[in-house]
Amino acid sequence: MDRQTVGSTNRGRLRVEVRTEGLSEVVAVAGELDHHTAELLRGPLEDALDQGRVRLVIDCSQLEFCDSTGLNVLLGARLKADAAGGGVHLAGMLPVVARVFEITGADAVFTVHDSLEQALAD
């Protein structure tokens, strides 16, 4: 399965890139994280956790939109990472995405950093 798209109508709406930097698994997301694209992120997060990569840094600097389904994917990864002794760090959120986390109170359950560099240094 092509992890870059789900169905032809969503082609290019969300891009997910994963790389390892030190003890962190960096998951860069770009585009729109919503009901139609959430599986594109869920898969790589679960793969990383299954491989024992429990410190996940989500680079949100190019994430333009996140709805409740996307938020639930991130919350699910946080629960699994926490249970394994790790955590999920969010980095570089654009104001429109940060507002969703603020309104829902999710910003209180994640470690949020202004930049990817800060998240990796923490």
Q: Residue 8 — very low, low, confident or very high, per pLDDT cuts 50/70/90?
A: very low
Question: What is the reported pLDDT for 73?
Answer: 98
User: Residues 44-57: what's their mean pLDDT?
Assistant: 97
Q: Contact at 8 Å (CB) between 12 and 40?
A: no
Q: Which residue has the higher pLDDT, 8 or 53?
A: 53
Q: Contact at 8 Å (CB) between 91 and 116?
A: yes
Q: Residue 122 — very low, low, confident or very high, per pLDDT cuts 50/70/90?
A: confident
Question: What is the reported pLDDT for 5?
Answer: 41
Whole-prediction pTM? 0.89
User: Residues 19-30: what's their mean pLDDT?
Assistant: 97
Min mean pLDDT across 6-15, 63-72, 87-96 is at 6-15
E strand residue ranges, 52-120: 55-66, 87-91, 111-113
